[in-house]
Amino acid sequence: GIQVEQSPPDLILQEGANSTLRCNFSDSVNNLQWFHQNPWGQLINLFYIPSGTKQNGRLSATTVATERYSLLYISSSQTTDSGVYFCAVERMNYKLSFGAGTTVTVRA
């Protein structure tokens, strides 16, 4: 099956800092989503981005499908940005394959 690798595994930030999370995948995909999992386990949709660039407030994402990677940018981080960020991809088979996640800790 398709392999999804996220880096870094852990990220510690000072409030106000910027950061970049990376997601590499092993094959062409028709769906790529970024999620933020809160401490209660809820997966919150951040971006549905099979290709191109999107922005939503302080968050933005870019997927370069031909090179099989996606980047999630967090600007001016806040303590509420803490949590686990997951990248998930789908390759024409209806199921999402998740990476292991990046755990982000933002310190005040």
Residue closer to other proteins (CB basis): 17 or 90: 90
Residue closer to other proteins (CB basis): 49 or 74: 49
CA distance 51 to 38: 25
Q: Shortest distance, CB of residue 100 to other proteins, whole angstroms?
A: 5
Torsion of CA 52, 30, 49, 62, to 10 degrees: -40
Q: Shortest distance, CB of residue 83 to other proteins, whole angstroms?
A: 14
Q: Shortest distance, CB of residue 24 to other proteins, whole angstroms?
A: 14
CB 95, CB 6: distance < 8 Å: no
Q: How many CB atoms lie within 10 A of CB 35?
A: 19
Query: In one letter, which amino acid is 105?
Result: T
Binding site for other proteins (CB under 8 A): 4, 30-31, 33, 35, 40-43, 45, 48, 50, 86, 88, 90, 92-101
Supply 37's token pair. 């999992």
Residue closer to other proteins (CB basis): 13 or 35: 35
